[in-house]
């Protein structure tokens, strides 16, 4: 009986040791398998080489064992055969990892509709063809809606809408993709063109770009303003302009067919502005006499010149000015004397008498009023009173 009891206790100990060993083996297997799904926190450990997920045919998820190495603990876990996960906790971890993996694969960012142009600024001559580039790329919509607008300083309007050209582009414009070509452009076609692409099936459904069209125009014959004569010592300005050229023209001035330099010498008296087209003399002298004309150019076509004109510079005649001043002074003095004399003699009508003169006459003469009722008597001989007399020479009628 005693031996039987000891034997039974020994069997129980062996069973207990076997169970503990089995539990330790199971925990060791769990730690090894967890290395395939949980990254170590230590920075020196390498990431997992692969975490492939696949669905099991007979229930549960299957995960292949992966290996990682550690610089501190160079233990290598060899990949083993695919095992069936039975632990509920491990199945949840595997399901979470696989779900995250598939979500990341499905949420890869995609490009929305994009619209670009090869040439944002287009410059062409009149009567040539202009190509307005517009290229687009959509995400899902194979047939997006394409529209073109024309924007000027005063308005914005459609020129291509619902697959048709509008207004003055009908019959002289074509479209390929979203790029349009305008035939025989004119100055009226110069504007900013807006290309718009709408893709309703895309995440971002609208894209747009701008193209500026400049129509180059050569200069026309400019208009010139050149005086025919001037006096020495005065300020004289010559002008030249052309409103039609694109880009705006610059102007050169010629005297007797010789080009005047913009960088004038220190002894010259003129100033030249090639952009405004002005040539200014301040002051002008007799040496500036000659024939002047201007030339307009903008690099597009041939330069154009105006007819021009000859300027004759005269000196100021001081003696003539003095004689003129003396003659005018004498004429005014004579008129004043004659007027005062005729007024004193009473040969003036009532309408021409000054307002302070009294309408009473003695001995054929108009008498001055009393000093108490008038201003100073010396005003009767003043120039402002006598000057109107020249206009009323008729004799005063008697009462």
Which CATH number fits the domain that encloses residue 264?
A: 2.60.40.10
Domain boundary among 186, 216, 246: 216
Same domain, residue pair 287 and 257: yes
pLDDT greater at residue 305 or residue 54: 305
Arithmetic mean of pLDDT, 193-197: 96
> Which range, 52-56, 202-206, 379-383, has the best average confidence (pLDDT)?
202-206
- Give a yes or no: residue 288 inside a domain: yes
pLDDT at 13: 55
pLDDT band at 238 (very low <50, low <70, confident <90, very high): very high
pLDDT at 292: 96
Domain boundary among 181, 200, 216: 216
Average per-residue pLDDT for the chain: 74
CA dihedral over 21, 22, 25, 30, signed as positive or negative: negative
pLDDT greater at residue 195 or residue 354: 195
- Give a yes or no: residue 328 inside a domain: no
pLDDT greater at residue 389 or residue 296: 296
Same domain, residue pair 363 and 306: no
> 129-133, 183-187, 270-274, 380-384: which has the minimum mean pLDDT?
380-384
Same domain, residue pair 288 and 273: yes
> 61-70, 106-115, 172-181, 304-313: which has the minimum mean pLDDT?
61-70
pLDDT at 348: 61
- Give a yes or no: residue 260 inside a domain: yes
Same domain, residue pair 125 and 181: yes
pLDDT at 374: 45
pLDDT greater at residue 219 or residue 384: 219
pLDDT of 342 above 70: yes
pLDDT at 211: 97
Q: Burial level of 179, CB count in 10 A (0-12/13-18/19+)?
A: middle
Same domain, residue pair 303 and 370: no
Same domain, residue pair 232 and 288: yes
pLDDT band at 113 (very low <50, low <70, confident <90, very high): confident
pLDDT at 310: 94
Number of independent structural domains in the chain: 5
d(CA 59, CA 65): 18
pLDDT of 298 above 90: yes
Arithmetic mean of pLDDT, 252-281: 88
Question: Do the beta carbons of residue 306 and residue 220 sit within 8 Å?
Answer: no
pLDDT at 306: 94
pLDDT at 150: 96
d(CA 32, CA 396): 145
pLDDT of 68 above 50: no
- Give a yes or no: residue 33 inside a domain: no
Q: Which of 247, 244, 270, 246 is nearest to 259 (CA)?
A: 270
Same domain, residue pair 196 and 281: no
pLDDT of 106 above 80: no
pLDDT greater at residue 375 or residue 10: 10
pLDDT band at 349 (very low <50, low <70, confident <90, very high): low
77 backbone dihedrals φ, ψ, rounded to 5°: -100, 115
Same domain, residue pair 348 and 369: yes
Task: Quote the domain boundaries for residue 307.
Answer: 223-314
pLDDT at 25: 66
Cα distance from N-terminal residue to C-terminal residue, the chain: 189
- Give a yes or no: residue 287 inside a domain: yes
Same domain, residue pair 121 and 86: no
- Give a yes or no: residue 95 inside a domain: yes
Same domain, residue pair 277 and 204: no
pLDDT band at 157 (very low <50, low <70, confident <90, very high): very high
Same domain, residue pair 89 and 121: no
Domain boundary among 314, 345, 376: 314
Same domain, residue pair 123 and 86: no
- Give a yes or no: residue 45 inside a domain: no
- Give a yes or no: residue 108 inside a domain: no
pLDDT of 105 above 70: no
CA dihedral over 260, 268, 236, 322, signed as positive or negative: negative
pLDDT of 173 above 60: yes
pLDDT greater at residue 254 or residue 22: 254
């Amino acid at each position: 009986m005693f031996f039987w009891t000891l034997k039974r206790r020994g069997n129980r100990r062996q069973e207990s040791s076997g169970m503990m060993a089995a539990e330790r083996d199971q925990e060791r297997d769990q730690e090894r398998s967890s290395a395939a799904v949980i990254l170590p926190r230590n920075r020196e450990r390498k990431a997992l080489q692969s975490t492939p997920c696949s669905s099991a045919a007979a229930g549960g998820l299957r995960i292949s064992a992966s290996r990682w190495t550690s610089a501190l603990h160079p233990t290598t876990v060899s990949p083993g055969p695919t095992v069936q996960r039975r632990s509920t906790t491990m199945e949840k971890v595997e399901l979470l990892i696989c779900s995250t993996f598939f979500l990341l694969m499905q949420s890869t960012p995609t490009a929305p509709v994009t619209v670009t142009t090869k040439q944002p600024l287009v410059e062409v001559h009149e009567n040539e063809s202009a190509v307005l580039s517009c290229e687009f790329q959509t995400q899902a919509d194979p047939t997006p809606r394409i529209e073109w607008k024309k924007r000027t300083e005063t308005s914005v309007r459609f020129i291509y809408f619902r697959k048709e050209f509008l207004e003055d582009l009908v019959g002289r414009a074509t479209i390929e993709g979203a790029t349009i070509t305008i035939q025989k452009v004119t100055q009226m076609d110069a504007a900013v063109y807006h290309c718009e692409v709408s893709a309703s099936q895309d995440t971002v459904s609208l894209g747009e770009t701008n193209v500026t069209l400049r129509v180059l125009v050569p200069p026309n014959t400019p208009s010139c303003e050149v005086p025919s004569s001037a006096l020495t010592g005065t300020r004289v300005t010559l002008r030249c302009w052309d409103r039609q050229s694109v880009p705006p023209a610059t102007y050169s001035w010629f005297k007797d067919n010789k080009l005047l330099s913009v960088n004038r010498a220190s002894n010259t008296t003129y100033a030249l502005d090639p952009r405004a087209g002005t040539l200014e003399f301040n002051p002008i002298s007799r040496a500036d006499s000659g024939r002047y004309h201007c030339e307009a150019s903008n690099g597009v076509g041939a330069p154009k010149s105006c007819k021009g004109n000859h300027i004759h510079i005269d000196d100021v005649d001081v003696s003539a000015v003095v004689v003129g001043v003396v003659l005018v002074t004498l004429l005014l003095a004579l008129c004043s004397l004659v007027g005062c004399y005729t007024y004193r003699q009473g040969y003036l009508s009532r309408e021409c008498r000054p307002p302070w003169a009294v309408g009473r006459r003695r001995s054929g003469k108009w008498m001055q009023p009393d000093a108490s009722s008038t201003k100073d008597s010396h005003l009767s001989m003043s120039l402002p009173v006598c000057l109107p007399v020249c206009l009323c020479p008729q004799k005063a009628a008697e009462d």
